[in-house]
Amino acid sequence: MPIHILPDDVAAKIAAGEVIERPASVVKELIENAIDAGATTIHVEIKQAGRRLIRVSDNGCGIPAGEVETAFARHATSKLQTVQDLECIRTLGFRGEALASIAAVSQVTMTTCTGDGQVGARLRIEGTRVVRREPRAHPRGSTIGVENLFYNVPARLKFLKTDVTERKHINTLIARYAMAYPHLQFSLENDDRLTFRSPGSGELLDVLIEVYGLDIAGAMLAVESGERGASQEERQMQVWGYVSPPDVHRGTREQITLFVNGRWVQDRGLTFAVEQAYHTLLPVGRHPLAVLQLSMPPQEVDVNVHPAKSEVHFQHRNAVFRAVQRAVRSVLLGQAPIPSVGGATSGRGVAGAAATQAAMDLHAPAGGGSALRWSGEFETGDVEPTKLPPLRAIGQLGQIYIIAEGPEGMYLIDQHAAHERVMYEKLLAQHAASDIQVQTLLAPLPVELAPGQAAELGNWLEPLRALGFEVEPFGGSTVLVRAVPAVLSRIDVRQTLVDVLDELAVGDEPLADQVHRRIAAAACKQGAVKAGQTLSMDEIKGLIAQLEQTTSPRTCPHGRPTMILLSRGWMEHEFGRR
Ligand code: ADP
Ligand code: MG
């Protein structure tokens, strides 16, 4: 083939590929445009996870009727004029690529009005061609509808994941922007259902409540960078936001969200800096939640590294890391509960401090000497899981907890978490020994899943089988279940499959060696005794005996504690005996 210049539409589609990877990338670009336009409310509507429609409406400055068409041209921007401007970007957009890219791979309708008594304009573009242009009334602001994304790029369409996954990307993205811009009101309508709304109150905590729920948001610790000990570069930087206390953690790093000058960034180094601040405070393999804003002079950070603008380069990289680490660490230390619960000054209140202290007592090896100290110095080395001492069952509390006595005091054991741990280790031990005990169902059980879920499940039949779930496709969205692991013989099969799918959809595609563990964890969560179930004394004793046999009795497979120790020392103190 002779060398030739690619036709415009081909070049446009190729270029679009760098910016628009999936529905969430469209949402990102349109939200950024709305923010740059000074909007205070941004409403996002999606249909079929954004494949059929993504519509973003804002009340920003709008585009003058005469410029709407230009906005869709490649390299058309109102945010940058000279190369020098690149050094000091204060807007989220500047490359002038998004609208052109989106239009190249979808059917776009933009309606916009600048207010000021103007009528407004409407433009319809299909695959870079303007097909309609007309005056149209619209309140001040813009509404952009993007239909049938990738209709003309079948290769891209093929690589989209399930609706569940694509929707998850969009949900996460909107939550992120809502956290980065708490004074803006974001809302998301998912197939005609309002699924998210941030209040726009200007308080990050209000957004955290919407994103994480009241319990977690209420436990988060506020970060505000101080200047003590900071270098010249660090002083120019501000770090603020919220991080989780050490007893709230997750299995992935996905909940560490970082913004640099209002731009969400993915930066391993920064994420690591946050994690380092928790060194030894979290169980192995667990990660904190964090929502941190960094602000610095724009010339200190190069945002023009990647078309999607989520990677950045820092001029003083180490200073940035130090500032983040220092800010997070100082809040963790500042919140350190004081050993005597009665005198606690922790901002989390006496109850919170007591619970944390009690949870930490768990790490204290029998015979004294805490393996995990809260002090100004962080210790090296991770917390080793230790075996349980022999426990004497006493009874059940509120159909949720088991009460037991051990040499160090009283244990409150979460019956669900404990049972999860027991089943999880049994199942994985059988799997490791290639000796899975299965329970064949009396009759094969047809299970109806949501559209798309059956296909998604098709990807995991092998690992499911290796754990004792014999599942096969049964046409449409139905699967046939022939057997389940004997350990989990009493589970709700349908709910388990749905939970397993949800678990596997979290984060990046799981690595092969994680798949079994994640399936097992999700299935055991479903199969374990629930809170609210009455247990007989024999069942309680049996559960404790089995828990004593596990290698990590102190946490459930999801990393939550299975038990809290109310130590003798604490009780004596509380009763004024010492
Ligand atoms: P960039 O954001 O990098 O400038 P885009 O292709 O995203 O490039 O947008 C091109 C231009 O269209 C912007 O510079 C802006 O002037 C205008 N524009 C896009 N979306 C909006 C909006 N929602 N409100 C007002 N103006 C907009
Ligand atoms: Mg833009």
Ligand positioned closest to the Cα atom of 63: 1
As a whole number of angstroms, the distance between CA 46 and CA 167 comes to 9
pLDDT, residue 258, reads 94
The percentage of the chain sitting over the pLDDT mark of 70, rounded to a whole number, equals: 86
As a whole number of angstroms, the distance between CA 317 and CA 301 comes to 9
- Residue 369 pLDDT level (bands cut at 50, 70, 90): very low
Beta bridge partners of 348: none
Mutation choice for ligand 1 from 20, 25, 26, 36, CB with most ligand atoms inside 8 A: 36
Q: Is the dihedral of CA 530, 536, 537, 541 positive or negative?
A: negative
As a whole number of angstroms, the distance between CA 23 and CA 19 comes to 11
pLDDT, residue 191, reads 94
Q: What angle in degrees, to the nearest 10, is found between the helix axes of 512-527 and 415-432?
A: 140
Ligand positioned closest to the Cα atom of 144: 1
- Rounded to the nearest angstrom, the distance between the alpha carbon of 130 and the centre of ligand 2 is 19
- Tens of pLDDT, residues 24-37: 999 999 999 999 99
Residue ID of nearest Cα to ligand 1 atom 14: 77
Note the CATH number of domain 392-550: 3.30.1370.100
pLDDT, residue 284, reads 75
The whole-number average pLDDT for the span 440-446 is 91
- Tens of pLDDT, residues 550-565: 887 887 887 778 888 8
Place of tokens 């009690």: 358
The whole-number average pLDDT for the span 503-508 is 74
- Rounded to the nearest angstrom, the distance between the alpha carbon of 414 and the centre of ligand 1 is 53
- Rounded to the nearest angstrom, the distance between the alpha carbon of 442 and the centre of ligand 2 is 59
Note the CATH number of domain 8-198: 3.30.565.10
Least confident of 37-46, 343-352, 384-393, 528-537: 343-352
Ligand positioned closest to the Cα atom of 99: 1
- Tens of pLDDT, residues 417-433: 999 999 999 999 999 89
In the 8-state DSSP scheme, what is residue 556?
Answer: -
Please state the domain extents for the chain.
8-198, 206-341, 392-550
- Rounded to the nearest angstrom, the distance between the alpha carbon of 33 and the centre of ligand 1 is 5
Ligand positioned closest to the Cα atom of 98: 1
- Tens of pLDDT, residues 317-362: 888 998 898 899 888 876 643 222 222 223 333 333 333 333 333 3
Least confident of 70-74, 509-513, 518-522, 562-566: 509-513
Is the distance from CB of 59 to CB of 40 less than 8 angstroms?
yes
pLDDT of 574 over the 60 cut: yes
As a whole number of angstroms, the distance between CA 422 and CA 414 comes to 12
What would the 3-class secondary structure string for 165-234 be?
A: HHHHHHHHHHHHHHHHCCCCEEEEEECCEEEEECCCCCCHHHHHHHHHCHHHHHHCEEEECCCCCCCHHH
Query: Hey, what are 3's tokens?
Result: 């060398």
pLDDT, residue 367, reads 31
The whole-number average pLDDT for the span 138-142 is 96
pLDDT, residue 407, reads 85
pLDDT, residue 350, reads 31
- Tens of pLDDT, residues 283-305: 778 899 999 999 998 888 887 67
pTM score above 0.85: no
- Rounded to the nearest angstrom, the distance between the alpha carbon of 289 and the centre of ligand 2 is 29
- Residue 231 pLDDT level (bands cut at 50, 70, 90): low
pLDDT, residue 91, reads 81
- Tens of pLDDT, residues 63-119: 999 999 999 988 788 877 777 776 776 788 777 888 999 999 999 999 999 997 889
The whole-number average pLDDT for the span 384-411 is 85
Q: Is the dihedral of CA 246, 249, 255, 256 positive or negative?
A: positive
Atom of ligand 1 nearest to the CA of 141: 24
Average pLDDT, the chain: 83
In the 8-state DSSP scheme, what is residue 551?
Answer: S
pLDDT, residue 187, reads 96
CATH topology of domain 206-341: Ribosomal Protein S5; domain 2 (3.30.230)
- Residue 184 pLDDT level (bands cut at 50, 70, 90): very high
Pocket of ligand 1 (CB under 6 A): 29, 33-34, 36-37, 58, 60-63, 71, 76-79, 93-100, 142
- Rounded to the nearest angstrom, the distance between the alpha carbon of 190 and the centre of ligand 2 is 23
